[in-house]
Amino acid sequence: MADLVYNSLKKKLMDADIDLAADDIRVALVTSSYTPNQDTHEFFDDVTNEVTGTGYVADGELLASKTVTQDDSNNKAVFDAANVVWTTSTITARGAVIYKDTGTPATSPLICYVDFGSDKSSSTASFTIDWNTGGILDLSDV
């Protein structure tokens, strides 16, 4: 599976229903059993097989130091945030789901899925997501 942007995000951005810089944006870890569906998965309650384990709390972590920047040289906008660390954790994850947290999974819109390429594990150690240096998500010319 490759990284993907959920199609519902595109409409929600155009409707101004999601403000990536101001809203509570979370990242949740999922196992290899989760199969994201770009077309039909819209809210966090559509996500299955969230990771469980020592040092991981259900619904994931709130992203910190979020930024949205405009890149006129490359004709895109970029969303980024600080790397995320689950300290002293014992977990195995295949990917991460980023979503806007409304406090209710059935109304918390999905943003994107990040595929780690293979299972990543920690054993009583830090599990860290080092976001791409180009940002978590970029929206380019179509």
Whole-number mean pLDDT of the chain? 94
| Local confidence band at 139 (pLDDT 50, 70, 90 cut-offs) | confident
- Does pLDDT of 141 surpass 70? no
Distance CA 42, CA 46 (A): 7
Greatest Cα pair distance, the chain, in angstroms, is 44
CA distance 113 to 28: 10
pLDDT, position 35: 96
CA distance 72 to 86: 35
Domain boundaries, the chain: 4-129
C-alpha distances in Å from residue 137, one per residue of 5, 92, 133: 8, 23, 11
Q: 56, 69, 66, 51: which is closest to 116 by C-alpha?
A: 51
Has residue 120 got a pLDDT over 90?
A: yes
pLDDT tens-digit series, residues 22-74: 999 999 999 999 999 999 999 999 999 999 999 999 999 999 999 999 999 98
Instruction: List all residues 6 or more positions away from 102 whose beta carbon is below 8 Å from its beta carbon.
Output: 24, 108, 109
> How many other CB atoms are there within 10 angstroms of residue 88's CB atom?
11
The pLDDT tens digits for 64-117 are 999 999 999 989 999 999 999 999 999 999 999 999 999 999 999 999 999 999
- pTM, two decimals, is 0.94
The model's confidence at residue 3, banded by pLDDT at 50, 70 and 90, is confident
pLDDT at 1: 53
